[in-house]
Chain A
Amino acid sequence: MSGSDERDLVERSREEPPPFLGTWHRVYIALLVLLAGYIALFWFITGAYR
């Protein structure tokens, strides 16, 4: 692996914060909340048309 390849690898692998919510953990939690929201919506639709 050449020097420039190594620099490229380091650059691509470097951990960086997400563009929103500050940390990746917060982004993951937001996605979990969204999933819970989807399930709640589906529950509501199922009940509304029963």
Chain B
Amino acid sequence: MSAIDWVVLAATIGLISGYGMWRTRREQTGETFLRGHRSLSWPAIGLSVMATQASAITFLSVPGQAYDDGLRFVQFYLGLPLAMIVIAAVFLPIYYRLEVYTAYDYLEKRFDVRMRALGATLFLISRGLAAGITIYAPAIILSTLMGWSLTGTNALIGIVVVAYTVSGGTDAVSQTQKQQMVVILLGMIAAGVTLALQLPEGVGVADAAALAGATGRMAVIDPHFDLANRYTLWSGLIGGFFLALAYFGTDQSQVQRYLTGRSIGASRLGLLFNGVFKIPMQLGILFVGILLFAFHVYEPAPTHFNPSVVQRMEASPAADDWARAELAWADANAAREVAADALVAARRGGDVESAQAAFVEAQRQLDEVRTDTETLIAQTLPDAELEDNDYVFITFVVERMPVGLVGLLVAVILLAAMSSTASELNALGTTTMVDLYERLGRGRVDDDRRRMLVSKLFVVMWGGVALAFATFASMLDNLIEAVNILGSIFYGPVLGIFLCAFFVKRVQGQHVLPAALVGQAAVIVLFFSDAPLGFLWYNVFGCAVVVSLATALSFVRPARDAS
């Protein structure tokens, strides 16, 4: 990175962090550290909710996902607006009326303290591990840029985020997320415009979409009902609905964001704002990946986007085989470029069908070379990460973005990491403090200074857990999928508990506790089995097991008899 990029990076992060500190300069108490001042307007809540979900993974991994697999990933978000409506209409009024600190606080009010502890524990496990992945994602960038060790970079980012969260608490996280989202969106627009401008002369955005479309990458909707297919209209609408309902309705990292609203109406509008803008935002980020695909049709991609894998292959005993693979890769790329030129020309007047068929064949041959290359890497470096989608976008940013914009884009990714990880650590600390330490331990801490200190210590503790898991994240293939698969393993049973609480009056704690334990075990068994089921369906499955089993138990052993 150039000196200008470093200045842009430091100024962007420094200004936003400084603004957060200035806005939260009022004396902090244990109460405001945990809950904030509860004065946010609806646009601030909407942006805060979006910023919490949009981690660095979104900006690193999603363009790479579209580069490799097209736009169909956006179906994942189709259930989100439906979930926002249910949360705004049903969950939110209950949370407000009962004045809960955490979502799990409600479970005690509805069931008993055991259910509160179980809900909080499932949240702590899933979110603690997910926080590790959200720390790891930006560590890839800095380690690639600076040549630092990945472990050391993980530690550096983790320490910075923990310090930021501990210094500001809930208020600082919420206050700065508006500015962070604005910078993030501007940065992604700049990346898209730069990509469009770097396409060859005579190749426009419509041509780029046509090239991607010929390979199936513009197929946004898949209407087939196929349980094994991860992204279809139905997995998005049904599985995505359950996932979004669980994430936004029961995950404290999100509940804590919208409960800081100045009124129930502000929180409601903030959630619906997310329902309106999330899908177009994700489609826009995915389209950056489509432009990347077209860009690399004319500017051949490296044989593998992860530079450390390339370096290791070049230094390995299979270096000669690797050199031959690189030659085959270059030839296949050249053939595809010729076919692309023909297709773009045909679109201006010619036989589009034949040109398209030739381009598809060239892409197929390129994919074959790619598969052979991956086989060679797997045989030579059994421990190497084969998937390189997470490196696609950052490679473009570092190598092709103009001076100044590189710094802005790196700032975007770091800000996204800060906003989501800070929300997560803040929620993890709050839940540990309120739901476990105070409720199951010594009771509410009366000394306010001590209360704040203990809460901050829990934030630091969870920062350590997240960092420990971050060191294992390099073993995961695709970060955006990994974080959603992890969530889907735990969210179904947790959502089942909450749906019983909201909608099945006859179910009590004694029914839902065994049902939740069985449901969680069933999802874990399903995950480790070879069952052909896309991960979004885990949410539906886990939820269905808990609701049906708890309801059945309530008939077998009604609450009145049991008591």
Interface residues of A (CB under 8 A from B): 9, 11-19, 24, 27-28, 31-32, 34-35, 38-39, 42-43, 45-46, 48-50
10 new A-B contacts at CB < 8 Å, known A31-B275, A35-B279: A12-B263, A16-B265, A17-B265, A35-B78, A38-B279, A38-B280, A43-B221, A48-B213, A48-B218, A49-B219
Say yes or no for B296: interface residue by CB 8 A criterion.
no
Say yes or no for B276: interface residue by CB 8 A criterion.
yes
Q: In the complex, what's the smallest C-beta–C-beta distance from B385 to chain A, in angstroms?
A: 31
A-B contact pairs, 22 of them (CB 8 A): A9-B99, A12-B38, A12-B263, A13-B93, A13-B264, A14-B263, A16-B265, A18-B268, A19-B269, A24-B268, A31-B81, A31-B84, A31-B276, A34-B81, A35-B279, A38-B279, A38-B280, A42-B75, A42-B220, A45-B218, A48-B218, A49-B214
Interface hub of B71, B82, B209, B265 (most chain A Cβ within 10 A): B265
Q: Is the interface of B mostly helix, strand, loop or mixed?
A: helix
Contacts of B78 in A (CB 8 A): 35, 38-39
Interface hub of A19, A46, A50 (most chain B Cβ within 10 A): A46
Given contacts A31-B84, A31-B272, A46-B221, contact A12 B262 (CB under 8 A): yes
Contacts of A28 in B (CB 8 A): 85, 88-89, 272
Contacts of B275 in A (CB 8 A): 31, 35
Contacts of B218 in A (CB 8 A): 45-46, 48-49
Contacts of A42 in B (CB 8 A): 74-75, 220-221
Contacts of B268 in A (CB 8 A): 18, 24
Say yes or no for B96: interface residue by CB 8 A criterion.
yes
Interface residues of B (CB under 8 A from A): 38, 71, 74-75, 78, 81-82, 84-85, 88-89, 93, 96-97, 99, 209-210, 212-214, 218-221, 233, 261-265, 268-269, 272, 275-276, 279-280
B213 and A27 within 8 A (CB): no
Q: In the complex, what's the smallest C-beta–C-beta distance from B506 to chain A, in angstroms?
A: 27
Q: Which one of A13, A27, A46 lies within 8 Å of B96 (CB-CB)?
A: A13
Contacts of B210 in A (CB 8 A): 49
A49 and B209 within 8 A (CB): yes
Contacts of A46 in B (CB 8 A): 218-221
B213 and A14 within 8 A (CB): no
Instruction: For the complex, give the distance between the alpha carbons of A18 and B88 in Å.
Output: 12
The 3 closest A-B pairs by CB, nearest first: A49-B213, A49-B218, A42-B220
Instruction: For the complex, give the distance between the alpha carbons of A14 and B93 in Å.
Output: 9
Instruction: For the complex, give the distance between the alpha carbons of A23 and B261 in Å.
Output: 20
Contacts of B261 in A (CB 8 A): 12
Contacts of A49 in B (CB 8 A): 209-210, 212-214, 218-219
Which residue of A has the minimal Cβ distance to B214?
A: A49
Instruction: For the complex, give the distance between the alpha carbons of A34 and B275 in Å.
Output: 10
Instruction: For the complex, give the distance between the alpha carbons of A42 and B233 in Å.
Output: 10
Q: In the complex, what's the smallest C-beta–C-beta distance from B49 to chain A, in angstroms?
A: 15
Which residue of B has the minimal Cβ distance to A28?
A: B85
Which residue of A has the minimal Cβ distance to B75?
A: A42
Contacts of A45 in B (CB 8 A): 71, 218, 220
Contacts of B81 in A (CB 8 A): 31-32, 34-35
B209 and A35 within 8 A (CB): no
Which residue of A has the minimal Cβ distance to B86?
A: A28
Interface hub of A15, A16, A39 (most chain B Cβ within 10 A): A39
Instruction: For the complex, give the distance between the alpha carbons of A49 and B208 in Å.
Output: 11
A15 and B264 within 8 A (CB): yes
Instruction: For the complex, give the distance between the alpha carbons of A27 and B276 in Å.
Output: 11
Q: Which one of A16, A32, A35, A48 lies within 8 Å of B263 (CB-CB)?
A: A16
Contacts of B71 in A (CB 8 A): 45
Given contacts A28-B85, A39-B233, contact A13 B265 (CB under 8 A): no
Instruction: For the complex, give the distance between the alpha carbons of A47 and B204 in Å.
Output: 20
A24 and B99 within 8 A (CB): no
Which residue of A has the minimal Cβ distance to B211?
A: A49
Instruction: For the complex, give the distance between the alpha carbons of A21 and B439 in Å.
Output: 43
Q: In the complex, what's the smallest C-beta–C-beta distance from B274 to chain A, in angstroms?
A: 10
Instruction: For the complex, give the distance between the alpha carbons of A45 and B117 in Å.
Output: 47
Q: In the complex, what's the smallest C-beta–C-beta distance from B532 to chain A, in angstroms?
A: 24
Instruction: For the complex, give the distance between the alpha carbons of A45 and B98 in Å.
Output: 45
Q: In the complex, what's the smallest C-beta–C-beta distance from B387 to chain A, in angstroms?
A: 25
A14 and B264 within 8 A (CB): yes
Which residue of A has the minimal Cβ distance to B219?
A: A46
Contacts of A35 in B (CB 8 A): 78, 81-82, 275, 279
Q: In the complex, what's the smallest C-beta–C-beta distance from A13 to chain B, in angstroms?
A: 4
Q: Which one of A9, A14, A31 lies within 8 Å of B85 (CB-CB)?
A: A31
